[in-house]
Amino acid sequence: MSHGHKVASALVGAVLLAAGAFLLTYSPAANASDVFSRMMWGTALAAGAVTVALAVYGLAYAGTGRQRAAERRRLAASHGRQGYAPDRLDLRPIRPAKFWWNMALIMLGVLFVSSAAGTGMTLSALLEMPARVWDFSGQMIGGVAQIPDEDVRGDWSSAFDAMLESVAIAWIGTLVGALFSLPCGILAARNLTPLGTYIPMRFILSVIRAVPEIVFAVAIFIPLLGVGPAERGGAMAGAFALGISSIGTLSKLISESIEGVDQGPLEASRASGATHMQMIRWAVLPQVLPEVLAIWLYRFEVNIRASAILGALGAGGIGRLISPPNGLFGQRPYDWEAIGITLFVIIAVTMAVDQISGFVRHRVIHGKTVRRRTRKQAEAAPPPEPPRAVAL
Amino acid sequence: MIKFEDVEVVYPNGFRGLSGINLEIHQGEFVAIIGLSGAGKSTLIRAVNGLVPYTHGTLSVGETVVDPKNKSKLRKLRSKVGMIFQQFNNVGRITVLNNVLIGRSAFTPTWRSLIGWYGHQDKEVAFQSLERVGIVEKAYNRAAALSGGQQQRVAIARVLAQDPEVILADEPVASLDPPTARKVLGDLRTIQRDLGITCVVNMHHLDLARDYADRIIGMRDGKVVFDGPTAEATDSVIAEVYQREVSAGDQLAPEAEVSSKEPG
Amino acid sequence: MSAALSERPVTEPRPEPGTDRPSPPKPALAPYLGLVLLAAAAASFFIWNWEGQAVLFLPLGDTVLWAPRDPLLGLGAMMLILVLCWRLRVSPMGAFGGLAIVVITYWAGSNIHFIDRIAEVPRRLTGGNTRDQLVGYFNPDWSYLLFQNVAGTSRPIWGEWLITLCMAVVATIIGCFIGLLLAMLASPVSSLNTGTSQTVKAINSVVRSIPDVGWALLFAAFLGGTAYGLGALAAVLALIMFNIGIVAKLLGESIDAIHPGPLEAADAAGATLVQRDRVAVLPAVMPSFISYSLYVFELNIRASAALGVVGVAGIGGELSRQIGRMSQGYENVGAILWALVLVVLMVDLLSLWIRRRLL
Ligand SMILES: Nc1ncnc2c1ncn2[C@@H]1O[C@H](COP(=O)(O)OP(=O)(O)OP(=O)(O)O)[C@@H](O)[C@H]1O
Ligand SMILES: [Mg+2]
């Protein structure tokens, strides 16, 4: 396909997309759902804009047609003839067209416009927002900064209580996840496990990873363990939901780090006739343990944040304190001073836990002494691994 | 062209990298700097374009004094002084042509490089530099997909695209095999002759230095201990620089071991 | 414990049997006795506090720091871990770590009433509405999901799914781009100066520590309500903040780790900071950026299902309404949850496919 053909077919595609989307705005689906009809309008508009842009580009390209034809003739004529001295420019490679890449970008743009239309956001509300933000943050800061009287003390202590409950939920969740993830991780590591266990294990783990925490919480653990504050069982439900979904990600990361271990000690212990368990205990675990600990701690940090969401659905912790119907945002007018205090406590405790766990993590991985790397060493060492996204 | 007057470099940790350097390198010279690992060769070369700020004395390139504090003047200076590295330092994930176009940065408005829209002229310059080092047919390949020698040529093309007056090369051939090393140095030498560019090259291999350089500078412990035309750099003088006998291992025949010393 | 494990040789040398084999060094006794004392002190604190609650008096207010349940269990666990560490010849530092883990676990467990709740599970399973609930969740009512409207409106349920997806798409695209900019500013490698990088990092960790539900509530209040269009806007803004936090952190770390060589080359060519970031930093982190963006998209779908409690638009709002209906809504909740799993799975497959194609 030449460049011209590509432009033409993209143009036709854009026209078809615009027309199709426009027609769909009259379909019964669009009648039933305003979201759908808005999305289709957005798609039609965006595709129309793309059509216009492509048409302009296509015309400009067609304008150079004569020049390109002359060049092609020159090349064709000179081919096979004696004494053809290629032009210097002929040796330069032709720029490869990134057709599909460009199409993907254009489609992303269309998708963005159509989704933005689909959400039906009232963007004009943004204009009034700054004044409110100013007003409310003033009140929040005032709440944090004032000298606590009896009322405000109550706010501080309930915020602290709820946040400590969140930390406890995250800790138990991480612990549950950690206990199960080590054996699961070993069973899901290709270099330690026969294919017969490896494949089902991987499958189970990916099913667990596909289920969001709130599904575990709402569908299984809240009925089993209770809902609401800690003494009614909500906190336990949150902890177990976090624990189960931690198993999925933790085991995957652990199995990856086990697959990445140095094979030398493994072979040495196999050669010296160690049993499977002995090999895992003496050749694998010592190598991966620091990394596994670091992974667990990462997950702890993640779980603290996740517990807030679960709380909003009745699973204890700080989420319960702020969310409607019973939380701080439950009835108007909002008590902005209490909200400010609560947010402050959330930020302070989360950051403190991050710092502590970051310190322990660093200590576990790098040992007691922290060597300052000079430029030389930094050059010599391979660049460190990028952080793990899945851990979050 | 490049003038060191009593230049000193003290690293932030207090280490004295260069002390009391007085040198003058003339327009169009090809200078090789030799010395043991840690002698301060890289420091000397990096001081010229301000990658390592010098702390005492004056260092000037052409008419301009290198001023490590003044960022915009430094950028202007760096646009005239190209640099080649041992590890090539190409951006692996973009095309060879885009790598070469990095050399045009100083001549391109920031907003244009932000959207990756280089002018016709810039592209022409980039292609011509690629043609000069003979890898124009790879222009649209990813830089990471090239061999070491080709990558170093891309780096040279990037420097050529700057239209430099001076080329600094920090061990340009230390990670190449001997025949390729000779080819790359040969390219560099030809370019230097054709365009009248001043070249300052760090080297570990004596025989390469002798074959390609006009002038050899020997360094030890941050000081210049030898400076003279290649003909004067006899084995005994070199032994003085290295503070030991020159052995066969220092010589690099095309088919010999790549390097008997630790690589820099 | 890790230190002790890695100290042991992998394959032990085999000297003549019986004679002077070097045994691993015994840890010093004194620190261990100190640890035992520590454990005893902690236990006596538990027992003293058995019925009451240890309250931490802060100048700001007091908080229940400690509500011990079953102190003897805690004491037993502490002693057990110490004995175990002693038998395994763990260094005192490792034993201290073990002890700390036991104490924190004991604290967390009694804080969330671990044993009481576990003990109650069998009773709940046999009687009450737990059975109904579970049965309802596993018998989802698909016709509700496909053909019914949101109660009291003419909006179909599947439209709520669409709006959730739309919110996730918009928030991902905007959030990832802002996150990219902030990551550039946050990493000392690509930032203007260390001051900027420290400031941006600090702001980012504040942004990250407010949970997304918190952001959604804040924005709903700032926008003055959760009426139809406002709720969607609040959710999108909250998701954007959430994404900025994640992308800026992860991508900032990726930028920290990139190879410094090309940056130096760009510098040596006289590039400005922006040019350097564009030509040398951006291509190097592009694969990570794409895979983080896909990952964040998946997170957004999960999160927007939960954000509904706030009253914002999307399937989350419907979910919390159905949960609020208690016994009438179990089959409907089940349908929403199963569909959520399905959607997340599909997004997962899609992003796997895109990653394969692109990287
Ligand atoms: N960033 C730095 N901070 C402190 N000291 C440094 C730094 N960079 C280099 N040095 C020290 O300066 C001295 C000279 O280093 P330089 O890199 O110039 O040596 P070199 O001659 O290039 O060696 P090689 O042949 O191994 O590349 C060395 O002792 C080195 O340890
Ligand atoms: Mg060096």
pLDDT of residue B251: 55
pLDDT of residue A14: 95
Mean pLDDT of B76-97: 92
Domains of chain C: 25-120 (no CATH), 142-358 (1.10.3720.10)
Please give all residues whose CB falls under 5 A of ion ligand 2, grouped by chain where several chains appear.
B 42, 264
Residue A135 has pLDDT above 70, yes or no: yes
Asked if B113 is an interface residue toward chain C (Cβ–Cβ < 8 A), one would say: yes
Domain count, chain B: 1
- Closest residue on chain C to A313 (Cα): C309
Asked if A119 is an interface residue toward chain C (Cβ–Cβ < 8 A), one would say: yes
Centre a 10 Å sphere on the Cβ of residue C171 and count the other Cβ atoms it contains: 27
Residue A83 has pLDDT above 60, yes or no: no
pLDDT of residue A376: 45
Span C228-238, pLDDT tens digits: 778 889 999 99
For chains A and C, count residue pairs whose Cβ atoms are closer than 8 Å. Answer: 298
pTM of the model: 0.87
What residues in A contact B127, CB-CB < 8 Å? 92
Asked if A88 is an interface residue toward chain B (Cβ–Cβ < 8 A), one would say: yes
- For chain B, give the percent of residues with pLDDT over 70: 92
Compare CB distances from A91 to B87, B137, B140 and report the shortest one's residue. B137
Which ipTM was obtained for this model?
Answer: 0.87
What is the C193 CA–ligand 1 centroid distance (Å)? 24
Q: Is residue B200 part of a domain?
A: yes
Domain A142-366, second-level architecture: Orthogonal Bundle (1.10)
User: Domain ranges in chain A?
Assistant: 4-79+89-123, 142-366
- For chain B, give the percent of residues with pLDDT over 90: 63
Rounded to the nearest integer, the mean pLDDT of chain B is 88
Atom 11 of ligand 1: nearest residue by CA position:
B17
Burial category of C186 from C-beta neighbours within 10 Å (exposed 0-12, middle 13-18, buried 19 and up): buried
Span C268-293, pLDDT tens digits: 999 999 999 999 999 999 999 999 99
Q: How confident is the model at residue A388 (pLDDT cuts 50, 70, 90)?
A: very low
- Closest residue on chain A to B127 (Cα): A92
The CATH number of the domain holding residue B21 is 3.40.50.300
Note whether B237 and B34 are within 8 A (CB): no
Picking from B30-34, B94-98, C43-47, which range would have the lowest pLDDT averaged per residue? C43-47
Q: Is residue B264 part of a domain?
A: no
Span A20-44, pLDDT tens digits: 999 999 988 888 888 899 999 999 9
Mean pLDDT of C348-353: 88
Asked if A95 is an interface residue toward chain B (Cβ–Cβ < 8 A), one would say: yes
What is the B264 CA–ligand 1 centroid distance (Å)? 9
Ligand lying nearest the CA atom of residue B41: 1
Question: Degrees (nearest 5) of the Cα angle A303, A306, A308?
Answer: 120
For chains B and C, count residue pairs whose Cβ atoms are closer than 8 Å. Answer: 85
Span C145-182, pLDDT tens digits: 888 888 777 788 888 899 999 999 999 999 999 999 99
pLDDT of residue C212: 87
* Most confident segment among A90-99, C126-135, C176-185, C231-240: C176-185
Asked if A121 is an interface residue toward chain C (Cβ–Cβ < 8 A), one would say: yes
Span C74-124, pLDDT tens digits: 888 888 888 888 888 788 888 888 888 998 898 888 888 888 888 888 888
Tell me which residue range forms the domain holding B159: 2-259
Atom 28 of ligand 1: nearest residue by CA position:
B38
What is the B61 CA–ligand 1 centroid distance (Å)? 22
